[in-house]
Amino acid sequence: MRAWRVTRPGPITSGPLTKHDEPVPRPAPGELLVRVLACGVCRTDLHVAEGDLTVHRPAVVPGHEVVGEVSEVGGSAEAGSGAEFAPGERVGVPWLRHTCGTCRHCARGAENLCPDSRYTGWDADGGYADYVTVPADYAMPLPPGYSDAELAPLLCAGVIGYRALRRAALPSGGRLGVYGFGGSAHLTTQVALAEGARVHVMTRGAAARELAADLGAASVQGAADPPPEPLDAAVLFAPAGELVPVALAALDRGGTLAVAGIHVTVIPPLDYRAHLFQERQLRSVTANTREDARAFLRFAGRHRLRVSTTPYALDEADCALADLAAGRIVGAAVLQPDGSTTRR
Has residue 132 been placed in a domain? yes
**Do 148 and 292 belong to one domain?**
yes
**Do 214 and 266 belong to one domain?**
yes
**Do 130 and 25 belong to one domain?**
yes
Give the model confidence (pLDDT) of 296-323 as tens digits.
999 999 999 999 999 999 999 999 999 9
CATH number reported for the structural domain that contains residue 60 in this entry: 3.90.180.10
Rounded CA-CA distance 341/292 in Å is 26
Residue 100 one-letter amino acid: C
Averaged pLDDT of the chain:
94
All residues at 6 or more sequence positions from 32 whose CB lies less than 8 Å from its CB, including other chains: 70, 72, 73, 74, 82, 85, 91, 133, 134, 135, 136, 139
Q: In 3-state terms, what secondary structure has residue 151?
A: helix
| Mean pLDDT across 255-275 | 96
Query: What's the pTM value of the predicted model, to 2 decimals?
Result: 0.91
**Do 88 and 165 belong to one domain?**
no
**Do 262 and 296 belong to one domain?**
no
Has residue 342 been placed in a domain? no
What residue numbers bound the domain in which 277 lies? 159-284
| Mean pLDDT across 190-201 | 98
Instruction: Report residue 342's pLDDT band, with 50, 70 and 90 as the boundaries.
Output: very low
Give the model confidence (pLDDT) of 58-83 as tens digits.
999 999 999 999 999 997 544 444 45
Contact 301, 140 (CB under 8 A): no
**Do 150 and 291 belong to one domain?**
yes
Has residue 300 been placed in a domain? yes
**Do 169 and 311 belong to one domain?**
no
**Do 64 and 94 belong to one domain?**
yes
Give the model confidence (pLDDT) of 229-245 as tens digits.
999 999 999 999 999 99
| Mean pLDDT across 137-149 | 97
Flag whether pLDDT at 344 surpasses 50.
no
Task: Give the count of domains, the chain.
Answer: 2
